[in-house]
Amino acid sequence: MIDTHCHLTDKAYKNDLLEVLERSREANVSPLIIAVDSLDEANNAIKLSKEHEDISCMSGLHPHHASLWTDEYEERLKKHIDDFNVVAVGEIGLDYHYDRSPRDIQRNVFERQLQIADDHDMPVVVHTREAINDTWDIVKNIKPKKLVVHCCTEKFGDIKMFLDEGYLLSFTGMITFPNAKDIRDTVEKTPIDRIMLETDSPYLSPALYRGKRNEPSYTVEIAKCVADVKNMSPKEIDEITTRNAVSFFEI
Ligand SMILES: [Zn+2]
Ligand SMILES: [Zn+2]
């Protein structure tokens, strides 16, 4: 089983990261892909991925921090893309919920990073919140070869165009929340060969661990929930979503 999106360089893990990794391997959640919000975080993620054979990472600038983008930043991203351990550009996209960077800057920086990813044949990990239409407008102009909408919380009708284009969706522990009926409906209607699992840890712990810090080993709970919704066995969900992630990230 693969946790395709965990923020392992977050300070939440600074005291016990090795134990977190150990629990993850014991739960058969390995390899892991570290998600980052900035290139400084990506530097730490690359370092960590060089220390552990079963860890890869992404590099990119989160929409929250889009205002940081400069030409120099762009050069740094291109250098990261050339690194063997960097397997995707992300997380990039639009966040109109928090609006931490002006929306026009978010759109420009998202478009620029999408273009860079496409030029380098890199898969893209997209973060989109309350911005699905603008996200799609930018994606459909560039049409990168491989793209996943991470932490998908959209209703099926609102996200269907991404599936029609051949893209993937990844789901977090949010699908286990009692009030997440709409997200489970999206899981139900999304073909299983387009689904990946992710914790987005340290946030969004599955219902069973609500209130606790999230960690990659809890991916197992997300797989169980997908299995329930799809009426399949957790083993099948593990095998298929693992295959999807191996093929998507080429790990
Ligand atoms: Zn995100
Ligand atoms: Zn994330």
Q: Which is nearest to 51 in space by CA: 32, 29, 78? A: 32
Q: How far is the CA of 127 from the centre of ligand 1 (A)?
A: 4
- CA distance linking residue 71 with residue 33, whole number of Å: 27
Q: How far is the CA of 35 from the centre of ligand 1 (A)?
A: 9
Q: How far is the CA of 239 from the centre of ligand 2 (A)?
A: 23
* 94: confidence class by pLDDT, cuts 50, 70, 90: very high
Q: Which ligand is nearest to the CA of 41?
A: 2
Q: How far is the CA of 229 from the centre of ligand 2 (A)?
A: 24
Paired tokens of 53: 């054979």
- CA distance linking residue 140 with residue 232, whole number of Å: 33
Q: Which is nearest to 242 in space by CA: 196, 190, 187, 173? A: 196
Overall pTM surpassing 0.85 (yes/no): yes
Please give the domain boundaries of the chain with CATH numbers for all domains: 3-249 (3.20.20.140)
Q: How far is the CA of 45 from the centre of ligand 2 (A)?
A: 13
Q: Which ligand is nearest to the CA of 33?
A: 2
Q: How far is the CA of 45 from the centre of ligand 1 (A)?
A: 16
According to the model, what pLDDT value does residue 117 have?
A: 98
Q: Which residues keep their CB under 5 angstroms from ion ligand 2?
A: 35, 200
pLDDT in tens, 148-166: 999 999 999 999 999 999 9
